[in-house]
Chains A and B, each alone.
Chain A
Amino acid sequence: MKPVDFRYVRPLTVADAIAALSGAGGDGKIIAGGQSLGPMLNMRLARPALLVDVNAIPEFRNIDETDDGIRFGATVRQREAERSPIVARRVPLMRDALPHIGHTQTRNRGTIVGSIVHADPSAELPLVAACLDAIVEVSGPGGSRDVTIANFYLGYLATDLAADEVALGVRFPAPALPADARRGTAFLEMARREGDFAIVAAAVQIDVDLRARRVIDVRLGLTGVAGAPFRFHAGEAMIRAATDPPAAFADVARAAAAAIDPASDLHATAAYRRSVAATLLERALDAAWLRALVADLHA
């Protein structure tokens, strides 16, 4: 399985990358990690005239930490993020999700930004991005813009990234927690085999004020249940409103099952996805809650 013949450039600057891509008249593709694009090229499902390799652009390589959060440049490898203490500290939900992505070889090349931008509805990183209100930094011939993740995913494999635009990076807002607050996260996935795309996965981040025993913030999301990651705002509201949050987790899971309309495909029926989404969400809530409480013991 060999790709069609394509031209190839490996620019050293963002400006050159944008110029090359726009010069291809919509027939160019960015390649970063290549873990999704490579198979598509080899199977001739993707037939670009030009491949723009962004791996040589220096400013794409960094993980930057600020007071507001953390930013991944476009070619930061998943493996690097997996090992990064910054990631563990500021986006523990991503740290939880990363081991589920493919295998070592995949994560050695695959990028954080590439996976988010590729937008596979069964992938792990788009779900993390959706839960944490990530912001995609995009640039093209018309200039640069920020796109909130809620506006970025438009449907099955469709995003608000034009054919002549490049994703420069993704920012994850991660403000510091208040003094008495602790964070717990959980990412649970059901896949046929370890490392496969999720049939369904549930992501939970919960910030608890331990003194007041109150939920300050909660993020709930599911992948594999729609054409894009499903952010369960209604469930988050239920938890914030609950006087005894853990007692509400089962109801939240049931509500999630009712709120989604998953598809049937080769790997699972809609009924299966619905049932397992609810199960995993409840388990993830229990696990994240426990981690938030336990975090205090080690503070």
Chain B
Amino acid sequence: MSVASPPATEPHAHRFIGKKRRPVEDRRFVLGRGRYAADITLPHLHHVAIVPSQYAHARITAIDVSEALALPGVLGVVTGAELRAQTKPLRQYLDIPGVEWFPLAGDVARYAGEWVVAIVATERAIAEDAADLVVVSYDPLPAVLDPEAAMDPNSPPVHPSHPSNIMYQRTFVWGPVDADFAAAPRRLKTRYRWHRSATVPIETFAVTASWEPGTSMLDVWASIQMPQFPEQIAEALGLPLNGVRVHFDVDVGGSYGVKRGIKHAVLVSFLSRHFGVPVSFVEDRLENMRGGDMHGPDRIFDIEAAYDDRGVVKSMKIRTIDDEGAYPGRSPLQMGKPVGAIVGAYAIASVQYEAIAVTTNKTGQVAVRGFGQAPTNFAIESTMDRVARDVGIDALEVRRRNFIAPEQFPYTIPSGTAYDSGDYPAVMAKAEALADFAGLQRWRDAARAEGRVAGIGIASCIEPGGGNAIFQALFNDKDKTTTFPEGAQVKIDRTGTISAQIGVASSGQGHETLVSTLLGEIFEVEPDGIRVIHADSLAGLPSQSPVASRMAIVLGDATVGAARRLKDKMLRIAAHDLGCAPEDCEWNGTTVRVRGGDAAERTWLEICRIAHLFYHRLAPGMEPGLQTQFVIEVPTGGTLPTADGRVQMYPCHSFSAHVVALEIDRGTGRVHFHKYALAHDCGTVINPDIVRGMVMGGIAHGIGAALYERFVYDDSGQLITQTLADYMMPTTHEVPHVDMVEHETPSPFTSMGQKGVGEGGYMSTPAAVVGAINDALSPFGTRIDHAPATPVDILECLQ
């Protein structure tokens, strides 16, 4: 039975929530006993290697697999023609019929690295040997690589079946934008470039599929973080959904959005059914970087701000172009989700937002941590800094003057989302104090007086949480989905031990710890005795998967709802057995006693035994046992967008304020962090170490995007950053020590006041770091409006 989120409780001293607790998952990982997709072994398991396209755009005229097939150990070879004849295209979220995406190229390869042929062999090394023997003949075609060039109607079409390379273009106008611009004393316009990068986990995508003809069941084990993963496999293979079982008890080696290997999974599932053996594909790093369709947002922003002489911004126009690569998939929606926080933390009255998605001959994009919020915040925060500089105030002050005030909550932004709660000035003040902002200014000014290059950057960003994916409907009015659920199953056995089952795979977010902590809190028992397991997709409940900083919110509340329902049943069992009305009984720790009366009580174990063993002591009609399912819709969800694109996006809004001070080596352009401090507010904290880890990890990703990480293509469309030697991820040396302080403005929409926290660091850090660089460059009259900002860029600005 599905109900709305359980009602919020009064804040009170928690026993387990908010307390330090060793995360339960950590034990198996430090023992080296995690169970990742590549660790799964099955009898007769075969392995896949891929023959990729060498051209960015080419007609495939012939494929000769004869030598490959003859190699001992090779089970078979599949080309795109065979695969496409027997599967349906992968799901597109935009309304773009005729744009078809399959795991293997058909008669046209659309990017260098696109998968053309799949080899199945007894060992991966042999499959690679066979891949070397496949001969593919190509007729190269002109390629389009620049997103603005792709908007030209004369550019080479990536999908000739579509009218142009523009897959989506819409302008939203919320409020009197033109009038507000006309009336504003000042305006500025800037272009920002967020270059292509991604959160690139250390584990590549891995998937094993096994088709069992005896039961007509497809079993899938994958390194997955994706909504409707079983559904999309079933769709592509023409299987009933109850014939696909995805095992969510696979440990995922990091995802941060990107583990969406739907083409990998469909390919491997097809191969298993086709060849009658279990098949495993573990992407190697080159396959992943070049052809895994796992790049992130690749954006151009043109932003105009209309503001007054005090730096108060009245209106904003944002135009964003996103280079999707060759196959759009879900990625264009990363321009939709930011609509739910399009004014950031600021009381901007009107907004015009134009979103354009284009295809080019590159590998595809995928969801990345923040789902488009990180580049959008980068552009908004950089604009606020420019406004500040123009009116002669500092970066802190401009934000103070523009913040939505604490008394204004819940605050509805022009695009229709209500922010639930927050106190931005208080959080900013905490960050300012922790960073000793005034001290940093003195440090910076003294450094400048010595001829050194130093700067301070600020970012203050909203982190929406909850995962109401109504941006699907916003960008495609044929998509009427409004249900984005999460469920939890809880049971208490006859010996009194508690188990819960969740229908998601975890990639380091600590869901088992989250659920057991909440259950421990509700039941008032030690969480370490509570077992949380991951169901498969058949045994599990409806789930929108652990994306969008949503699990604390929705899985948390589904868990709390289930626990309260069971606790209520236990009370009624005890009351019945004690011969009194439930209203006359109360919990006292783990015991139910009669209120104010004699010492009659029933212990936890007694109640469990009655429930499971002594039917004669149960109230008539009561179900035996203690087990329940609880499914909730994302809070505040359930409404479709209006005709002008206004909608309540996510329910909960976390917030953080970052202060970064850095120095730049004048001779090399190298950045050295002097201080990094932040305050963050994610509502009620459930596990402090997990929260701190999420923030810190997001910051590290953000430093990567700000200074190091970029997927670079050459003029012929070859990815030249294919290895981890060229795609540079921050190590212990590049991520500084970070000082952190918390603030809690509980959400009114969740049972414990908890909000989300998984994405906020990444959404804010690039803006703060590049902002600090720009502050450092300000005496030179230069600035950088792109990410990453490399030493080469910086040195050019200094000389």
Touch between chains A and B, by CB atoms below 8 Å: yes
Stretch at the interface among A53-61, A235-243, A274-282: A274-282
**In angstroms, how far is the closest chain B Cβ from the Cβ of A157?**
15
Tell whether, in the assembled complex, residue A192 and residue B708 are in contact, meaning their CB atoms are under 8 Å apart: yes
Interface stretch (choices A20-28, A124-132, A193-201, A206-214): A193-201
Is the interface on chain A under 10, 10 to 19, 20 to 34, or 35 or more residues?
Answer: 20 to 34
Chain B positions 686 through 725: 1 when the CB is less than 8 Å from some CB of chain A, otherwise 0: 0000000000000000000000100010000000110101
Please measure, in the bound complex, the distance between the C-alpha atom of A39 and the C-alpha atom of B726, giving whole angstroms: 13
Encode contact with A along B787-799: 1 for CB under 8 Å, 0 otherwise.
0001110011001
Residue A283 CB within 8 A of the other chain: yes
Q: Tell me if A276 and B795 are in contact (CB < 8 A).
A: yes
CB distance from B8 to the nearest CB of A (A): 46
* Across-interface contacts of A190 in B (CB, < 8 A): 668, 670, 791
Contact A195 B731 (CB under 8 A): yes
Interface pair B667/A283, CB less than 8 Å apart: yes
B291 CB, min distance to chain A CBs, angstroms:
13
Q: Does B565 contact A (CB under 8 A)?
A: no
Interface residue B39 (Cβ < 8 Å from any Cβ of A): no
In the complex, A65→B398 CA distance in Å? 66
User: A81-89, A172-180, A244-252, A265-273: which lies at the B interface?
Assistant: A265-273
Please determine whether B792 and A272 come into contact, CB atoms closer than 8 angstroms: yes
Whether B708 pairs with A1 at a CB distance below 8 angstroms is no
B contacts with A, residue count (CB < 8 A): 30
B733 at interface (Cβ–Cβ under 8 A)? yes
CB of A287 to closest CB in B, whole Å: 13
B550 within 8 A of A: no
Task: Mark interface residues in B516-558 (1 if CB within 8 Å of A CB, else 0).
Answer: 0000000000000000000000000000000000000000000
In the complex, A197→B728 CA distance in Å? 12
A40-73 to B contact mask, C-beta < 8 Å, 1/0? 0001100000000000000000000000000000
Establish whether residues B667 and A280, one from each chain, have CB atoms under 8 Å apart when the complex forms.
yes
Kindly identify which residue among A2, A193, A272, A283 contacts B728, using a CB–CB cutoff of 8 Å: A193
Chain B, Cβ-Cβ closest to A265 = B720
Decide yes or no whether A4 CB sits under 8 A from chain B. Answer: yes
Give the Cβ gap from B426 to chain A, nearest Cβ, in Å: 37
B196 at the interface (CB under 8 A from A): no
Question: Do A276 and B286 contact each other (CB < 8 Å), given the known contacts A192-B791, A266-B721?
Answer: no
Q: B114 to chain A: closest CB distance in Å? A: 18
The secondary structure that dominates the B interface is loop
Residues of B within 8 A of A39 (CB): 723
Cβ of A16 to closest chain B Cβ, rounded Å: 28
Question: In the complex, A275→B798 CA distance in Å?
Answer: 12
Q: How far is the CA of A159 from the CA of B667 in the complex (A)?
A: 33
A255 to chain B, nearest CB (A): 17
Asked if residues A266 and B286 are in contact (CB atoms below 8 Å), the reply is: no
CB neighbours of B731 from chain A (8 A): 193-195
| Chain A residues, CB < 8 A from B390 | none
Q: Is B284 on the interface with A (CB-CB < 8 A)? A: yes
In the complex, whether B609 has a CB less than 8 A from a CB of chain A is no
Assess whether A272 is in contact with B791, with CB atoms less than 8 Å apart. yes
A2 nearest in chain B by CB position: B125
Partner of B795, one of A193, A194, A272: A272
Question: Does B285 sit at the interface, judged by CB under 8 A?
Answer: yes
Q: Is the CB of B721 within 8 A of A194?
A: no
Q: Mark B268-302, 1 if CB is under 8 A from A, else 0.
A: 00000000000000001110000000000000000
User: Is B734 among interface residues, defined by CB-CB distance under 8 A?
Assistant: yes
In whole Å, how far is A48's beta carbon from the nearest beta carbon of chain B? 15
Is residue B124 contacting chain A, with contact meaning CB distance below 8 A?
Answer: yes
Known A1-B284, A193-B733; judge A276-B728 contact (CB<8 A).
no
B799–A275 touching, CB < 8 Å: yes
- Whether A2 pairs with B712 at a CB distance below 8 angstroms is no
Q: How far is the CB of B786 from chain A (nearest CB, A)?
A: 16
A103's closest neighbor in chain B, by CB?
B731
Closest Cβ of chain A: how far from B567's Cβ, in Å?
Answer: 52
Task: For the complex, give the distance between the alpha carbons of A269 and B731 in Å.
Answer: 24
- Determine whether the beta carbon of B125 is less than 8 Å from that of A268: no
Whether A194 lies near B733 (C-beta < 8 A) is yes
* Chain A residue at minimal CB-CB distance from B734: A193
B667 A192 Cβ-Cβ under 8 A? no
How many angstroms from the CA of A96 to the CA of B733 in the assembled complex? 19
Cβ distance B721 to chain A, nearest Cβ, rounded Å: 7
Q: Chain B 540-584 against A: per-residue CB contact (8 Å), 1 yes, 0 no?
A: 000000000000000000000000000000000000000000000
Nearest CB of chain A from residue B152's CB, rounded to whole Å: 27
A253 to chain B, nearest CB (A): 10
Look across to chain B and name the residue whose beta carbon is closest to the beta carbon of A269. B792
Residues of the A chain whose Cβ atoms lie less than 8 Å from the Cβ of B124: 2
Closest approach, in angstroms, between the C-beta of A276 and any C-beta of chain B?
5
Question: Does B354 touch A at the CB level, under 8 Å?
Answer: no
Instruction: Please name all residues of chain B whose beta carbon is closer than 8 Å to the beta carbon of A268 when the two chains form the complex.
Output: 791-792
A276→B733 CA distance, assembly (Å) = 21
Separation in Å of the B611 CB from the closest CB of chain A? Answer: 55
Residues from chain B with Cβ under 8 Å of A276 in the complex? 667-668, 795
A266 engages B668 (CB within 8 Å): no
Instruction: State the CA gap A67–B2 with chains docked (Å).
Output: 86
CB-defined contacts of B795 to chain A, threshold 8 Å: 272, 275-276
B708 touches A193 (CB 8 A): yes
What are 6 pairs between A and B in contact, CB < 8 Å?
A1-B128, A1-B286, A4-B132, A39-B723, A190-B668, A280-B667
9 residue pairs, one from A and one from B, having the closest CB atoms: A279-B667, A2-B125, A194-B733, A1-B284, A272-B792, A190-B668, A276-B668, A192-B728, A2-B128
**Which residues in B have some Cβ–Cβ distance to A below 8 Å?**
124-125, 128-129, 132, 284-286, 667-670, 708, 712, 720-721, 723, 725-726, 728, 730-731, 733-734, 790-792, 795-796, 799
**Which A positions have Cβ atoms within 8 angstroms of B?**
1-5, 39, 43-44, 190, 192-197, 199, 266-269, 272, 275-276, 279-280, 283
User: Can you add 13 more A-B contacts, CB < 8 Å, to A269-B792, A279-B667?
Assistant: A2-B125, A4-B129, A4-B132, A43-B286, A44-B132, A192-B728, A193-B728, A193-B733, A193-B734, A194-B731, A272-B791, A272-B795, A275-B667
